[in-house]
Structure 1
Amino acid sequence: MLACTDIAFLTLDDEDALWGEKPVAEVIARTHAAGVEEVVVKRGADSCLVAIAGQPLREVPAVKLPKEKVVDTTAAGDSFSAGYLAVRLTGGDAESAAKRGHLTASTVIQYRGAIIPREAMPQ
Structure 2
Amino acid sequence: MASGEPNTKKMREDQTISEGMLLGMGNPLLDVAAVVTKEFLDKYELLPDNAILADAKHKDIFEDMHQFTEVEFTPGGATQNTLRTAQWMTGSPEFATLFFGCIAKDRHGDIMTKAMKEGSVKTVYQINGSNSEPTGTCAVCITGNNRSLVANLASANCFTKAHLDDKANWAHVERAKLVYTAEAEAFSEAQGFGTKDVKEIALKAASLPKHNSKRSRTVVITQGAEPTIIVEGGKLTEYAIIPIEKEKIVDTNGAGDAFVGGYLSQLMLERSTEQCVRAANYVANLIIQRHGCTFTEKCVYE
For 1:89, the aligned partner's letter is M
Query: What is the alpha-carbon root mean square deviation over aligned residues?
Result: 3.0
Match of 1:75 in 2: 254
**Any unmatched runs of 5+ in structure 2?**
1-177, 211-215
When Rg is computed on C-alpha atoms for both structures, the one with the higher figure is 2
Task: Report the CA distance between 1:46 and its aligned residue.
Answer: 1.7
Is structure 2 residue 214 aligned with structure 1 residue 40?
Answer: no
Distance 2:253 2:291 in 1: 8
Is structure 2 residue 285 aligned with structure 1 residue 112?
Answer: no
TM, length-normalised to structure 1: 0.77
1:114–1:6 CA distance, 2 compared to 1 (3 A) = closer
Q: CA offsets, 1:42-86, max 9 Å, x none?
A: 01122101111x242111110011001100010100000000011
Contact 2:203–2:231 at 8 Å: present in 1 too? no
Structure 1 counterpart of 2:203, from 18, 29, 33: 29
1 or 2, which has the higher strand percentage?
2
**Any unmatched runs of 5+ in structure 1?**
none
Match of 1:51 in 2: 231
1:7–1:28 CA distance, 2 compared to 1 (3 A) = farther
Matches within 5 A, 1:74-93: 74-93=253-272
- Identical residues among aligned pairs (%): 25
Matches within 5 A, 1:98-109: 98-109=277-288
Contact 1:75–1:108 at 8 Å: present in 2 too? yes
Q: Which has the higher contact order (CA 8 A, sep 6+)?
A: 2
Distance 1:44 1:84 in 2: 15
Contact 2:195–2:201 at 8 Å: present in 1 too? no
Match of 2:130 in 1: none
Segment of structure 1 superposing worse, 19-28 or 73-82? 19-28
1 or 2, which has the higher helix percentage?
1
Contact 1:7–1:40 at 8 Å: present in 2 too? no
TM, length-normalised to structure 2: 0.34
Residue 226 of structure 2 aligns to a residue whose secondary structure is coil
Segment of structure 1 superposing worse, 54-63 or 22-31? 22-31
Distance 1:115 1:64 in 2: 20
1:111–1:119 CA distance, 2 compared to 1 (3 A) = same
Residue 205 of structure 2 aligns to a residue whose secondary structure is helix
For 1:45, the aligned partner's letter is A
Segment of structure 1 superposing worse, 112-121 or 81-90? 112-121
Q: CA offsets, 1:15-59, max 9 Å, x none?
A: 48x62752223312332215371100101122101111x242111
1:31–1:76 CA distance, 2 compared to 1 (3 A) = same
Task: Report the CA distance between 1:7 and its aligned residue.
Answer: 8.0
